Chains A and B, each alone.
Chain A
């Protein structure tokens, strides 16, 4: 198990079950009393399409644990933006249920929902969604202003999150005076100003240049390492998903194709669609020692010992020098086996055909 995966995360923060979103003249006709559980989701979706309705989400279910980064990855039109809007009820799901802290979000009244959004949820948007007529600090303090928080107090709070995202000195600038990266920092700061538990990020870095994007991903991971929010992160970039996800879901045609840890998806793609994404993944930066460990008879006393969490790419120089390989320990210090240069080459060459016996135990 990986070090940055905290074992205490197993409480479910947010979950959705059998979510359907159908657009058209009369979407409700396809579901009895908002129940999204159908026997064959595929067949049902086909039927809906045949009736001239558009299926944006089909039978989507997943859980987001406390402190977890859950990434939803899909190409454009796959329904990923709709699902995150269903979770925040920006879009009303046609059927299914959304549970936040064990309470059904879809049963909440308009005013209860406003309260929840004011205190429990934060959202970051692809094109930032900043208010053009407010400067940086007023944009960030805007959610607090809506709640009626006094000016001094909300500026103090805004100042704290400005520091968190590293925008000090920009307080009086207007959005159009900032670069894309800076604008998104404002968006992030605004979504954090109310100290939400659940944090939605809808393709937050897609509008940015590749270099800035990388930098923002690092920044995001740093912020998360401090705040431990429960996160739903939408992206169309598979590599971005791999970098930041604790767990991820791949969506296609409104439905979920596969859910799992990045390494699960890479090593055991459920179908060709997922496999297609994994094809040009740099394996050495995904696979960890524990994933390709070989059983070893005899003593490992002379060998260097590493954690099972170590990325293969960082072992390459050492393996080039030491033919016998390195010993791999689990987090309790017990020897799991060894990783050898031959084993690495075999794993990289074979792609998904590696021995995955130990991957099962990881979850």
Chain B
């Protein structure tokens, strides 16, 4: 393909030229290098003042709500603690059996025994009681808003963007305002988890109600349904599967937020157990407690998703009274029986302390052994990744290459060689594929040489804005400019770039490896069967828990954070990669095979181009997951926005934490809109829909 010089290419070459000029002059012009402190708009101070005023005015109301909400939590806590563990376990197993079957019931039994024997029963019940209150609340609130949004377009136009913000602003950021409004106590966890978990319920309710086929609605109307009958007897039952999926997602979100909220402490729940032991470097204990959370998450997930799938399998009418109420009868009988048993055998009432058993000590010793004996290996892995990959991206080859790290000094010869090589690769890409790829290579070369954090902010602003323009159009470009501009004028740009650097490395690695695995899984059923449960587990695993093993081996720092982000965010890349390749139009593949494609031609020239829009949605999710994990990773010592949020929380500085939180939301939303827009554009061009 001859090199085509069109307008788009000229635009980009212009952008690159401006970038290079900016870099060249940033030594001389100080505001180019760093946005001047004197010009920082004191948004955070304003927000603090505003918040203070708000609390002074309305604080009493919120405190009243807090005390009001305290009671149901206390009540559930009391019940869960008063009941012997054996009774609770029996009831959990029964619910598992009803929702999913014997296998889940046995798994639940095993998990309950694990919790009891290791002595985490009380903490687990504390977490559970929060979830038990927050989930019904979230379902109710979410359902109401969902129905409202379904009936009123105007309401939907307000609800949807609000949900976007609630779900992208990192949870830590709104813990603080809640803390300030509602005061210390369990209510904070409740409110935070409510705010975090009702959005999926709203979305699923709207999607479910929308998805009811118009003919079913019409048939209801023609059957003479009143509006209320139409809703409760036609729309609701038909949408129930989707709505129950919302319940599932709300439950999972609620649990994960309850765990995260324990960071403010004072709750004696299982999340606090993990966090405090991590901080004390008692990794054995923290991983044992983390497993409890993972168990809880898995069981709740299976129970709620089991109920959702069951709702689609309508059972025949139960004829006898006993059959209709059999589960209630079993539950009552079992409860009474086990209560009596617990009276007779004290160990069923409360597991004796001296029968508790914890392998934490052995695990800690084992870990110490590994860390001591394999220090060399661990260190070299860490160093390798750090010197050759992370550091160049962060501060650029220009600074990263030194005799200490790479073993030689960066001389002009090397720089020139690098420049020539990259330009050559770009030209080759332009010939082989297209100009866009070539531009990508050039930009990457610049980033990698000068480092993301060393690039002047006006240049980066320009690059992102132009990219948004090219991908979507003027609206997104203006939005990007305003959003990133906000980061600049509030003075959090340097932290934002640190976050971006960590996140982009993680996302690139996750996406490349995840997609590769996805492609493999799409072609090999056995791989697919192995990968799927791993994905499921990783996705239900609360973010906290994922951190633990990495902290254990690599201590705190950027590298650990990177690994944790990768571990969490490669899941969607695999999923979408496999999904995209497995759902291609059969006819096209047959046609391609019949014109004589080899297997690799089929993959590279037919399948991947067609699956690319779906894969881009995977990239979108990878980015979202990465950003979500980034905040949690701040707990193990990264710099950047995540850490700023965290500092804001621990210092009680609402403004600072909130600005950083909004900053992360801005980055997430821009990335989301750009990848979505690209995927949509591509889908439209290919005439397919995902």
- Taking a contact as CB atoms closer than 8 A, the residue among A121, A131, A194 that contacts B238 in the complex is A131
Tell me if B356 is interfacial: C-beta within 8 Å of chain A: no
CB–CB B219/A125 < 8 A? yes
List the one stretch of B193-201, B210-218, B288-296, B478-486 in contact with chain A: B210-218
- Taking a contact as CB atoms closer than 8 A, the residue among B224, B233, B238 that contacts A132 in the complex is B238
Report the bound CA distance from A111 to B237 in whole Å.
Answer: 24
- Taking a contact as CB atoms closer than 8 A, the residue among B216, B224, B233, B314 that contacts A130 in the complex is B216
Tell me if A205 is interfacial: C-beta within 8 Å of chain B: no
CB–CB B223/A117 < 8 A? yes
Tell me if A75 is interfacial: C-beta within 8 Å of chain B: no
- Taking a contact as CB atoms closer than 8 A, the residue among A114, A133, A135, A187 that contacts B224 in the complex is A114
CB–CB A131/B216 < 8 A? yes
Tell me if B416 is interfacial: C-beta within 8 Å of chain A: no
Q: Which single residue of chain B is at the shortest CB-CB distance from A115? A: B224
B contacts with A: majority SS: helix
- Taking a contact as CB atoms closer than 8 A, the residue among B222, B229, B234, B312 that contacts A122 in the complex is B222
Tell me if A127 is interfacial: C-beta within 8 Å of chain B: yes
Q: How far is the CB of A232 from chain B (nearest CB, A)?
A: 13
User: Quick one: CB contact mask for A93-137 with B, threshold 8 Å, 1 for yes?
Assistant: 000000000000000000100110111011101111111111100
Tell me if B318 is interfacial: C-beta within 8 Å of chain A: no
Q: How far is the CB of B309 from chain A (nearest CB, A)?
A: 14
Q: How far is the CB of B323 from chain A (nearest CB, A)?
A: 15
CB–CB A117/B224 < 8 A? yes
CB–CB A129/B314 < 8 A? no
Tell me if A88 is interfacial: C-beta within 8 Å of chain B: yes
Q: How far is the CB of B246 from chain A (nearest CB, A)?
A: 17
Inside 8 A of A172's CB, which chain B residues have their CB? 316-317
Q: How far is the CB of B243 from chain A (nearest CB, A)?
A: 12
From B219, B221, B225, B237, residue with most partner A Cβ within 10 Å: B219
CB–CB B213/A146 < 8 A? no
Tell me if B226 is interfacial: C-beta within 8 Å of chain A: yes
Inside 8 A of B218's CB, which chain A residues have their CB? 85, 90, 123, 125, 129
Tell me if B240 is interfacial: C-beta within 8 Å of chain A: yes
Report the bound CA distance from A122 to B223 in whole Å.
Answer: 7
CB–CB A127/B213 < 8 A? yes
18 additional A-B residue pairs with CB within 8 Å, beyond A125-B218, A131-B220: A114-B226, A117-B223, A118-B224, A123-B218, A125-B215, A125-B219, A126-B215, A128-B215, A129-B216, A129-B218, A129-B219, A131-B216, A131-B237, A133-B238, A133-B240, A133-B314, A135-B314, A146-B229
- Taking a contact as CB atoms closer than 8 A, the residue among B220, B221, B222, B316 that contacts A135 in the complex is B316
Inside 8 A of A277's CB, which chain B residues have their CB? none
Tell me if A142 is interfacial: C-beta within 8 Å of chain B: yes
Chain B, range 297-316, C-beta contacts under 8 Å to A:
312, 314, 316
Q: 14 pairs across A/B with beta carbons < 8 Å?
A: A90-B221, A114-B225, A117-B223, A118-B223, A123-B218, A125-B215, A125-B218, A130-B216, A131-B234, A132-B314, A133-B237, A135-B316, A146-B226, A174-B314
Q: How far is the CB of B225 from chain A (nearest CB, A)?
A: 5
Report the bound CA distance from A129 to B238 in whole Å.
Answer: 11
Report the bound CA distance from A348 to B330 in whole Å.
Answer: 77
CB–CB B219/A123 < 8 A? yes
CB–CB A191/B222 < 8 A? yes
CB–CB B223/A142 < 8 A? yes
Q: How far is the CB of A130 from chain B (nearest CB, A)?
A: 7
Q: How far is the CB of B234 from chain A (nearest CB, A)?
A: 7
Report the bound CA distance from A175 to B255 in whole Å.
Answer: 37
CB–CB B222/A88 < 8 A? yes
Report the bound CA distance from A130 to B219 in whole Å.
Answer: 8
Inside 8 A of A134's CB, which chain B residues have their CB? 237, 314
Chain A, range 135-167, C-beta contacts under 8 Å to B:
135, 142-143, 145-147
A90-B222 contact, Cβ under 8 Å, with A125-B215, A128-B215, A133-B238 = yes
Q: How far is the CB of B488 from chain A (nearest CB, A)?
A: 41
Q: Residues on B close to A: CB < 8 A?
A: 213, 215-216, 218-226, 229, 233-234, 237-238, 240, 312, 314, 316-317
Report the bound CA distance from A252 to B238 in whole Å.
Answer: 35
Report the bound CA distance from A145 to B238 in whole Å.
Answer: 17
Tell me if A190 is interfacial: C-beta within 8 Å of chain B: yes
CB–CB B222/A117 < 8 A? yes
From A128, A142, A190, residue with most partner B Cβ within 10 Å: A142
Chain A, range 3-28, C-beta contacts under 8 Å to B:
none
CB–CB A147/B224 < 8 A? yes
- Taking a contact as CB atoms closer than 8 A, the residue among B215, B233, B312, B316 that contacts A129 in the complex is B215
Inside 8 A of B222's CB, which chain A residues have their CB? 88, 90, 117, 121-123, 191, 200
Q: How far is the CB of A186 from chain B (nearest CB, A)?
A: 11
Q: Which single residue of chain B is at the shortest CB-CB distance from A123? A: B222
Report the bound CA distance from A128 to B215 in whole Å.
Answer: 7
From A90, A119, A129, A134, residue with most partner B Cβ within 10 Å: A129
CB–CB B223/A146 < 8 A? yes
Q: How far is the CB of B602 from chain A (nearest CB, A)?
A: 35
CB–CB B233/A146 < 8 A? yes
Report the bound CA distance from A131 to B218 in whole Å.
Answer: 11
User: Quick one: CB contact mask for A243-268 with B, threshold 8 Å, 1 for yes?
Assistant: 00000000000000000000000000
Inside 8 A of B314's CB, which chain A residues have their CB? 132-135, 174
Closest 5 CB pairs of A and B: A118-B224, A129-B219, A143-B223, A129-B215, A123-B222
Q: Which single residue of chain B is at the shortest CB-CB distance from A138? A: B317
Inside 8 A of A146's CB, which chain B residues have their CB? 223-226, 229, 233
Q: Which single residue of chain A is at the shortest CB-CB distance from B311? A: A133
Inside 8 A of A127's CB, which chain B residues have their CB? 213, 215
CB–CB B221/A117 < 8 A? yes
Q: How far is the CB of A108 from chain B (nearest CB, A)?
A: 13
Q: How far is the CB of A69 from chain B (nearest CB, A)?
A: 19
Q: How far is the CB of B228 from chain A (nearest CB, A)?
A: 11
Inside 8 A of A119's CB, which chain B residues have their CB? 224
Report the bound CA distance from A117 to B618 in whole Å.
Answer: 48
Inside 8 A of B220's CB, which chain A residues have their CB? 131
Report the bound CA distance from A131 to B238 in whole Å.
Answer: 7
Q: Which single residue of chain B is at the shortest CB-CB distance from A119? A: B224
From B213, B222, B312, residue with most partner A Cβ within 10 Å: B222
Inside 8 A of B215's CB, which chain A residues have their CB? 125-129
Q: Which single residue of chain B is at the shortest CB-CB distance from A122? A: B222
Report the bound CA distance from A121 to B222 in whole Å.
Answer: 7
Inside 8 A of B316's CB, which chain A residues have their CB? 135, 172
CB–CB A143/B216 < 8 A? no
Report the bound CA distance from A146 to B229 in whole Å.
Answer: 7
Report the bound CA distance from A115 to B234 in whole Å.
Answer: 18
Inside 8 A of B226's CB, which chain A residues have their CB? 111, 114, 146
Inside 8 A of A147's CB, which chain B residues have their CB? 224
Q: How far is the CB of B144 from chain A (nearest CB, A)?
A: 22
Q: Which single residue of chain A is at the shortest CB-CB distance from B224? A: A118
Inside 8 A of B216's CB, which chain A residues have their CB? 129-131
A129-B213 contact, Cβ under 8 Å, with A117-B224, A121-B222 = yes
Q: Which single residue of chain B is at the shortest CB-CB distance from A144? A: B223
Inside 8 A of A125's CB, which chain B residues have their CB? 215, 218-219
Inside 8 A of A200's CB, which chain B residues have their CB? 222
Q: Which single residue of chain A is at the shortest CB-CB distance from B216? A: A129
Inside 8 A of A142's CB, which chain B residues have their CB? 223, 233
From B216, B223, B312, B314, residue with most partner A Cβ within 10 Å: B223
Inside 8 A of B229's CB, which chain A residues have their CB? 146
Inside 8 A of B317's CB, which chain A residues have their CB? 135, 172
CB–CB B219/A194 < 8 A? no
Inside 8 A of B237's CB, which chain A residues have their CB? 131-134
Q: Which single residue of chain A is at the shortest CB-CB distance from B218? A: A90
Inside 8 A of B221's CB, which chain A residues have their CB? 90, 117
Chain A, range 185-210, C-beta contacts under 8 Å to B:
187, 190-191, 194, 200
Q: How far is the CB of B229 from chain A (nearest CB, A)?
A: 5
Inside 8 A of A121's CB, which chain B residues have their CB? 222
Inside 8 A of A122's CB, which chain B residues have their CB? 222
Q: How far is the CB of A65 from chain B (nearest CB, A)?
A: 22
